[in-house]
Amino acid sequence: MTEFWLISAPGEKTCQQTWDKLMASTTRNNNLSTNNKFNIPDLKVGTLDVLVGLSDELAKLDSFVESVVKKVSQYMADVLEDTKDKVQENLLANGVDLVTYITRFQWDMAKYPIKQSLKNISEIIAKQVTQIDNDLKARASAYNNLKGNLQNLERKNAGSLLTRSLADIVKREDFVLDSEYLITLLVVVPKTNYIEWQKTYETLAEMVVPRSTNLLFEDQESGLFSVTLFRKAIDDFRHKARECKFTVRDFQYNEEEMKADKEEMTRLSTDKKKQFGPLVRWLKVNFSEAFIAWIHIKALRVFVESVLRYGLPVNFQAMLLQPNKKATQKKLREVLYDLYKHLDSSATGIIDVAMDIPGLNLSQQEYYPYVYYKIDCNLLDFK
């Protein structure tokens, strides 16, 4: 499972005792979860007022950073246009897979110096992730435009003969060009009507050049025929052709236009290839940055909430549990409740929506006698 429960409980005589008790209850006999200590450094506590305010701010920041992490990973999946495994390979934090990063979490002292106040650290993270979010919007918009334009051109060159571009099908020699009186038209004829076409095309209007039709191209349903006639008979010919279920395409042979279209397609295709590599590299780097920031926010939240609940001096053990199976999650909850219910007798597992404890950010949330945050590493929504 990719779901983790990040919890904390106050230190007994020592924090090691708190850890040993958890291990005994959840792994020794019943194998409910795989556990790791979650190392949070000695952060600056500050005043109670600041902690209460920070608790709410961190909850909002947590949601925002998680949304950016998901956006970056989902966009990576869109850009790679590939299988789940390929995307998963690229979603790393600090060069390791996400589960490894979380279970071996170490605070990044260089990025988030612990000599700074908690508020400053949260502001550093907010600024960093907002920048990633803004950059992603700009890069995604540019790449999507390019991709969209290319897809539109590709669509033009595919599909039914009634709608597709004919530029790559016809050649100069298929047309009577530079004539004052004659013109070559292109007509789409259903395959079932070929015999009918050959019998009737010369009589659809006056002044059709006899034996001037050629089959230039076929798809599954139809064929593209050329026919040469006098210019003044065009309207008449179109009208009669429509009655016989033959479709005259609006097409004028123009080498310059056709060349420009081909060049545009080549340019867009080259641009897309050029942008692809740097974009994937940017996504990898910034996914890692955003994910690391997100887990540091979880660490900050555990620290703040533990101090608010368990008081000073700071004495708590943060622990990361990975429930082994979906089926045993309920049992794991019960075991944790029995272990920690003495911390808060009112906490039964779900808090009343109407109840609002300042600073604990609990509205419409599960509430347990221990500090609890969920981390879900399943970030991709594959269709």
pLDDT at position 353 = 39
C-alpha–C-alpha distance, residues 156 and 166, integer Å = 9
CA distance 237 to 208: 9
Which has more pLDDT, 322 or 30?
322
Q: Which residues pair with 374 in a beta bridge?
A: 5
Q: What is the pLDDT of residue 360?
A: 52
Whole-structure pTM value: 0.81
**Does 73 score more than 50 pLDDT?**
yes
- In contact, 317 and 11? CB cutoff 8 Å: yes
In terms of domains, do 103 and 185 share one? Answer: no
Q: Judge residue 47's burial from the number of C-beta atoms within 10 Å of its C-beta, 0-12 exposed, 13-18 middle, 19 or more buried.
A: exposed
Q: 9 vs 45, 169, 185, 238, 345, CA distance in Å?
A: 17, 73, 83, 84, 15
Name, of 185-199, 254-268, 350-364, the range with top average pLDDT. Answer: 185-199
Residue 189 has pLDDT above 60, yes or no: yes
**Percent of the chain, pLDDT > 70?**
93
Rg of the chain over all Cα atoms, to the nearest angstrom: 34
| Tens digits of residue pLDDT in 130-186 | 999 999 999 999 999 999 999 888 888 888 999 988 888 899 999 999 899 999 999
Domain that holds residue 239: 172-252
Q: Say if residue 98 is in the same domain as residue 186.
A: no
What is the pLDDT, as a whole number, of residue 240? Answer: 96
Q: In what order do the strands lie in the sheet with 182-190?
A: 214-218, 222-230, 182-190, 247-249
Residues 287 and 318 both lie in one domain: yes
Residues 56 and 100 in one domain: yes
**Whether the Cβ atoms of residue 381 and residue 369 lie closer than 8 Å to each other:** no
Closest CA to 40 of 91, 96, 112: 112
Q: Render pLDDT for 290-311 as a digit per residue (tens, 0 to 9).
A: 999 999 999 999 999 999 999 9
Question: Are residues 37 and 112 located together in one domain of the fold?
Answer: yes
Q: Cα(330)–Cα(33) distance, rounded to whole angstroms?
A: 12
Residue 363: per-residue pLDDT:
45
- Angle, CA of 82, 87 and 90, to the nearest 5°: 140
CA separation, residue 74 to residues 71, 82, 153, 272, 287 (Å): 5, 12, 26, 19, 10
Q: What pLDDT is stored for residue 347 in this prediction?
A: 64
Q: Is the pLDDT of residue 85 over 80?
A: no
Question: In the 8-state DSSP scheme, what is residue 379?
Answer: -
Output the domain CATH number for residue 86.
1.20.1460.10
Asked if residue 266 belongs to a domain, the reply is no
- How many CA atoms does the CB half-sphere of 189 hold within 13 Å? 26
What's the mean per-residue pLDDT of the chain? 91
Residue 118 pLDDT: 97
Judge whether 310 lies within some domain.
Answer: yes
Q: Is residue 371 part of a domain?
A: yes
Cα of first residue to Cα of last residue in the chain, in angstroms, is 20
SS3 164: coil
As for how many domains the chain has, the answer is: 2
Vertex 304 angle, CA 128 and 116, to 5°:
50
Q: Which two tokens stand for residue 111?
A: 């990025």
Give helix 48-80 / helix 255-310 axis angle, nearest 10°. Answer: 150
Looking at the structure, do residues 146 and 185 belong to the same domain, yes or no? no
Rounded distance, CA 338 to CA 216, Å?
81
pLDDT per residue as tens digits for the range 217-251: 999 999 999 999 999 999 999 999 999 999 999 99
In the predicted model, what is the mean pLDDT of residues 350-363?
Answer: 47
pLDDT tens digits along 17-49: 999 999 999 998 788 999 999 999 999 998 999
Tokens of 287: 């996914």
Q: How far apart are CA 71 and CA 86, in angstroms?
A: 17
Provide the CATH number for the domain around residue 207: 3.30.70.100
